[in-house]
Amino acid sequence: MEHVASVEEFNKIKESETAVFLFSADWCPDCRVIEPFLPRLEVDYPTFTFYYVDRDKLIDVCIAHDVFGIPSFLAFSNGEELARFVSKDRKTEEEIQTFLTEAEAKVG
């Protein structure tokens, strides 16, 4: 999963790709819980390119998109928000799969 380095890069990806952004942070224990199965989800949902957004480094992106809890996910396709899975709660693999399936159904 590629890391987004700047607000400008986030906006460029959001506007031009079909992407899922994972909002996370190194210190977040709930974020560590989902890490083992993320590579499999990237393979299972090839419609999306997956990106990591460090909440601490890109707080302005979080504020602009109302992401105040982590881990959280936003899905975009060519500038349009397809779906969001945003909360401060721990996410299960099944919940993330449901989010991705619903987002994928809205592509295109």
Give me the active site residues, please: 28, 31
Please confirm whether the linkage preceding 39 is cis (ω < 30° from 0). no
Of 69, 70, 55, the residue nearest 10 (C-alpha): 55
The answer to whether the CB of 38 falls within 8 A of the CB of 46 is no
Rounded CA-CA distance 99/83 in Å is 7
